[in-house]
Amino acid sequence: MRLALLNGPNLNLLGIREPALYGTRTLGEIEAELTALARSLGATLTCVQKNGEGELIDAIHALRGQCDGAIINAGAYSHTSLAIRDAFASVSVPFVEVHLTNIHAREPERRHSMLAAGARAVLVGFGPAGYALALRGLVEMLGAARG
């Protein structure tokens, strides 16, 4: 099973960016843990971080025919980007949306996700553990779909 982890704007600054909100673990640390977890679940994981919306869309397009499923934390683009949701629909790659914080308990503009309607699942507020939960859930969903 081939999976992808996509992270959007400012997530490259995890560990130093607003640690009271996002914690002190770096994106590199999270990616390393998830790569090892994926391997233990019989999957491979490709990790990508892009700050630009178009770059994220290009990364999603590149998943076509190369990936069985994806996890995405699109950061602030989650609240504004129909284009990212449309990109996933265009390549027919099932995805799980993840947010480190509980977006429903934050500012009003962060309480709605444009991606959620296209996602297989959405995890919010678990911090970095949300990525591992998403990975386990996605592997299980895709495995059940296969048979």
Q: 2 - beta bridge partners?
A: 44
99 is catalytic: yes
**Is 77 annotated in the active site?**
no
The parent domain of residue 125 ranges over: 2-146
Give the chain's domain count: 1
Note the pLDDT tens digit of each residue in 98-134. Answer: 999 888 877 777 677 879 899 999 999 999 999 999 9
pLDDT tens figures, 89-98: 999 999 999 9
* Active-site residue (options: 22, 77, 112, 131): 22
**pLDDT value for 37:** 98
- CATH (domain of 121): 3.40.50.9100
Q: Where are the beta strands (DSSP E) in the chain?
A: 2-7, 44-49, 69-73, 95-99, 121-124
- Out of 61, 77, 79, 99, the active site residue is 99
pLDDT recorded at residue 147: 65
- Tell me: the pLDDT tens digits for 43-86? 999 999 999 999 999 999 999 999 999 999 999 999 989 999 99
pTM: 0.92
Determine what percent of the chain is predicted with pLDDT higher than 70: 99
